[in-house]
Amino acid sequence: MTCIVSRFLATLTVLLLWRVEEIAEACSCSPVHPQQAFCNADVVIRAKVVAGKEVDSGNDIYGNPIKRIQYDIKQIKMFKGPDRDIEAIFTAPSSAVCGVTLETNGKKEYLITGKTEADGSMHVTLCDFITPWETMSPTQKKSLSQRYEMGCECKITRCPSIPCTISTPEECLWTDWVMEKSISGRQANHYACIKRSDGSCAWYRGVAPPKKEFMDIEDP
């Protein structure tokens, strides 16, 4: 009986360690406002994905091949990035390591944000802002051309629970989660955090460019 119990405990320990390792390897991302995603990204494009395949991208320190997914894309518009078209994007092979899965039939348009690597290629993860173009609000689409960039010197602070406050005038308080239990609420869909002439930052809503009165006013 003692032997059976020992074997059971040993098996249970292995399973628990495997589960802990699995959890440790899972991808974890903090929610970001679309404007934050734009400002943090090296590249922001609107594109269709036309093909996808697994490719080798060198070896790890043990000599094992490193796999990545290469998505061939058709760029429609670049909002931020190098002075050339992006023809492919790269991501990790599974969501456990923040890999992104995209439709490759060439029909769906995406907004894709990501980073450039040393060789100039574009790399994306689950922590980047990647969403079907059709799901974006008119304000979000318009803001990609200028509005978001106007607030890249501002800091958007997410409010995870009440009470929450800002610590400097250069912050905008993002309250979608506490107010609507969603990170895709009114502020994410319809507002941009804009830096005003006095150096402070405030939420601005609207498709038209901010008026001078908004830029000069002391309080939002």
Q: What is the mean pLDDT of each run of 10 residues along the chain (220 residues)?
A: 44 38 64 96 98 87 88 98 96 94 96 95 97 96 93 95 92 94 93 94 77 50
The whole-number pLDDT of residue 197 equals 92
The whole-number pLDDT of residue 212 equals 54
The whole-number pLDDT of residue 218 equals 44
154 annotated to a ligand binding site: no
Separation in Å, CA 77 to CA 30, 121, 141: 27, 17, 12
The whole-number pLDDT of residue 60 equals 78
The whole-number pLDDT of residue 69 equals 97
The whole-number pLDDT of residue 23 equals 37
* Closest C-alpha to 47, from 122, 148, 149, 143: 122
Peptide bond into 34 cis (omega under 30): no
The whole-number pLDDT of residue 169 equals 95
The whole-number pLDDT of residue 58 equals 78
Separation in Å, CA 156 to CA 67, 167, 184, 188, 192: 35, 11, 14, 11, 10
The whole-number pLDDT of residue 210 equals 59
Running DSSP on this structure, what letter comes out for residue 178?
Answer: H
Give the residue carrying structure tokens 């995603």: 37
